[in-house]
Amino acid sequence: MTKFIDKLGTKMLFFDGAMGTILQSKGLLPGEIPELWNMTSSDVILDIHKSYLDAGCDIVKANTFGANSFKMKDTGYSCEEVVTQGIKLAKEAVSAAGREAYVALDIGSLGKLLKPLGDLEFEAAYEAFKEICIAGEKAGADLCLIETVSDTYEIKAAVLAAKENTNLPVVVTMIFDEGGKLLTGADVSAAVALLEGLRVDAIGFNCGLGPVQMQKLLPELHRVCSLPIVMNPNAGLPVVVDGQTMFNVGPDEFAGVMKEIAESGASVLGGCCGTTPEHIKAVISMCKDIKPLKAEDKGLSVISSYSHAVELNNRPKIIGERINPTGKSRFKQALRDNDLEYILKEALTQQDNGAHILDVNVGLPEIDEPSMMERTVAGIQTVVDLPLQIDTSDIEAMERAMRIYNGKPLINSVNGKQESMDAVFPLVAKYGGMVVCLALDEDGIPETAEGRIQVAKKIIAEAEKYGISKKDLVIDTLAMTISTGQENSAITLDSLDYIRNEMGVHTVLGVSNISFGLPQREIITTAFFTIALSRGLSAAIINPASTSMMNAYYSYCAINGSDEQCFDYINQYSGAAQQPSSSAKQSEETSLFDAVVRGLSESAYTAAKELLKAKEPLALIDEDLIPALDKVGQGFENKTIFLPQLLMSAEAAKSGFDAIKEVLAKKGTASSSKGTVVIATVKGDIHDIGKNIVKVLLENYSFDVIDLGKDVAPELIVQTALDNHVKLIGLSALMTTTVANMEITIKQLKAAIPDCKVMVGGAVLNQTYADMIGADFYSKDAMGSIRYANELFEK
């Protein structure tokens, strides 16, 4: 028998159609689990498979779509049993048909959302998929079909599970909306970048749309995808008739559009919801003689985040360099303090300043880099949708970050040393990614352009052995300061020019090194940057907050024509600054006290900076910040101001504290603290805005706050309180269902630390309820918790 993988893309192949909607017509009740029919009504399942095989399909989707351990829980059957029986029925139908056909292990969404959005750990999702994949291969499936998935992160878990635990080909079809987005926001190019990076065998769409709507998204898929394309649409968009969902596109109409789809590049066709054996029969009769277009390498150099792809091309890209402790005392302090929030703010600022990609480097000798890297990458991906450049020389940190990264990352870096290539390339081959390649090797940094080009060629050849094409490599020809040798710029630029323009490989530079040791570095750096851009620099690692560098960038893009109709340039510089907005008024000159009371963040920062020239930090806190906060807090409790006003003041006070922290970090002293408070949203609850408000206010009043985040297990809260000798714990819960977990947490806390105090808050709570679950204090609003904490720590 010819293997599926050998036929894929060389001749038209046909999937079967719907299972679920047919089962509904045979009596499956709403909410009933279709996969259980493998066990209870196997004859019906067998007949459906047979009817599709009679229609002529090449691939039967086994009835295993939802047979994961989460959905099988409490059904009396295990995932393995249902998958095994599902594959068995499909194989039985194939052997009864007496011709060559394949059985797909059908793997659908787990129906649960992964962290950080939901409550399922990435590795727990991986384990659930692993169980299905192992059972499916063992039962004799010919391929894995991961389908109807709409979250790139879940897709990554499923693909890794299939690739690491089976030898089966992997086909992935996703559910896009009419706007070309997955439900979690990814566009087609982002999803394809991720999947090609993971080296799946075919990519396509299923469900959600009818053939007409899917056809509209096909050109974009075709533009970016170098693999065979699969199309399994519904029989039209769902229409609700008297409250019931129907699919109305008939077999002939369906097949007519499918023929056009096949002619424009899809080589595997089938159907999803609402399609029947008649639909599939019609498709096969119209499309079987089409010679499929060969899937060709599109040659794109792409990385991606969970939402979009960034392509290295004629338009240079900015890689923000600020998430890096080198030479930054405040950043180092943040790493030591595990202060993720500080790092995330750096990420947001760089995005606002126009970065396309963010470099992430958290290497500091005294911290556990792999776990910090993992936490930082995951953390940044909760707030910033830019692709990340994972910057580390620690291979464990690199692999852990690559595994949990939601997208196709840029890796920084590999170099020409055999040891480096041996370590990095296997990771890229497995997880996908583009790689920054430093033009140096065992002999050091070559002192000629020719030497650096030779190292680049060596790296490219070695990458090839791993199936990593040069489109996924970015060569760094190493900018070195001209203060130690003025020929340095020519070596860097000549090799860069050759590599980009003669060899057709992308280039990157850490631009600012050029001016090391010179005064007014930005002047030289900007000039060098502009020259490098004109010589073929594809991406630059810079500080996007530098106005002169960004001016050079926008000007260059307008001049070289990659900024079409100077759109971005005009947008950037045509008086956008004059637009009135809420933030425009933030920088009035005023006293620190007034700035806090009025909620003016920037003014508060400036005023604090000014005051700190003459005043001790502690005096500034006691005489200016705290009195202002007290006034605002009182206003809130008397209801003369309301929540957003309180919060604007809290933010302004925070800016004042930032100014103080900068001064202290420079001196190398820590800020003084009233005491430490642990806060968390309890297990099972994913709401945290209330908790975040309490956190900022506590910090304003000089408490050290250990924020454990949301959905936090009682054990972790207890352990953290024990480890840090904390006597006050603040818990938040929003729903009646999670108040139960609050009660459990309080019980455990009281058992472990009898003299600790627990304050609670959240929408469903009141004094009676709080008393019932054993809390020491019920805080009706954010200010209540401040009052309680102050009283407690003054005793």
Name the amino acid, one letter, at 69.
S
Q: Which is nearer to other proteins, 148 or 779 (CB)?
A: 148
Contact 718, 750 (CB under 8 A): no
Q: Is 76 in the site for other proteins (CB under 8 A)?
A: no
Q: Report the phi/psi class of residue 179: left, alpha or beta, with left for phi > 0 and alpha for psi in -120 to 50.
A: alpha
Continuous segment of H or E residues that includes residue 82 = helix 79-97
Residue 129's nearest CA partner among 112, 148, 109 is 109
Closest contact distance (angstroms) between CB of 305 and other proteins is 13
Judged by CB under 8 A, which of 118, 140, 250, 627 binds other proteins? 118
- Output 56 or 270, the one with its CB closest to other proteins: 270
Can residue 374 be called a binding residue for other proteins (CB under 8 A)?
no
284 vs 734, beta carbon nearer other proteins? 734
- Report which DSSP code applies to 787: H
- Enumerate residues 441-500 that contact other proteins by CB under 8 A: none
Quick check: 736 binds other proteins (CB under 8 A)? yes
CA distance 57 to 72: 29
Select the residue interacting with other proteins from 232, 488, 495, 741 (CB under 8 A).
741
In the complex, the smallest distance separating the C-beta of residue 649 from other proteins, rounded to whole angstroms, is: 9
DSSP string, 489-558: HHHHHHHHHHHHHTS--EEEEEGGGGGTTSSSHHHHHHHHHHHHHHHT--EEEE-TT-HHHHHHHHHHHH
At residue 16, the 3 state secondary structure works out as: coil
30 binds other proteins (CB under 8 A): yes
Shortest gap between Cβ of 148 and other proteins (angstroms)? Answer: 6
CA end-to-end distance (rounded Å), the chain: 82
Among 55, 650, 680, 718, binds other proteins (CB under 8 A): 650
Question: Which of residues 51 and 649 has its CB atom nearest to other proteins in the complex?
Answer: 649
Q: Which position among 16, 399, 472, 688 is part of the footprint of other proteins (CB under 8 A)?
A: 688
User: If DSSP codes are grouped into helix, strand and coil, which group holds residue 228?
Assistant: coil
Size of site (CB under 8 A) for other proteins = 66
Distance of closest approach, residue 161 Cβ to other proteins, in angstroms: 19
Closest CA to 410 of 456, 357, 454, 335: 357
Taking CB under 8 A as the binding criterion, the range among 41-49, 82-90, 179-187, 656-664 that sits at the site for other proteins is 179-187
Instruction: Tell me if 148 contacts other proteins by CB under 8 A.
Output: yes
In whole angstroms, how close is the CB of 629 to other proteins at the nearest point? 14
Pick the piece of the chain touching other proteins (CB under 8 A) from 241-249, 367-375, 445-453, 565-573. Answer: 241-249
In whole angstroms, give the CA distance from residue 787 to residue 347. Answer: 34
Length of the chain: 795
What x-and-dash track marks residues 320-359 binding other proteins by CB under 8 A?
A: ---------------------x--xx--x-----------
Query: Can you say whether residue 548 is alpha, beta or left, with left for phi > 0 and alpha for psi between -120 and 50 degrees?
Result: alpha
Say whether residue 40 binds other proteins (CB under 8 A).
no
User: For residues 288 and 306, what is the distance between their CA atoms, to the nearest angstrom?
Assistant: 36
The rounded distance, in Å, linking the Cα atoms of 227 and 246 is: 33
Provide the mask over 609-648, with x wherever binding to other proteins is found by CB under 8 A and - wherever it is not. ------------------------------xxxxxxx-xx
Rounded to 5°, the CA angle 480-484-485 comes to 80
Q: Which residues pair with 757 in a beta bridge?
A: 728
Binding residue (CB under 8 A) for other proteins from 207, 334, 386, 632 = 207
For the chain, state the CA radius of gyration. Answer: 30
Q: How far is the CB of 186 from other proteins (least distance, A)?
A: 12
Binding site for other proteins (CB under 8 A): 29-32, 109, 111-113, 117-119, 148, 150, 175, 181, 183-185, 207, 240, 242-245, 341, 344-345, 348, 382-383, 580-582, 585, 598-599, 639-645, 647-648, 650-651, 683-689, 692-693, 696, 711, 734-738, 741, 764, 766
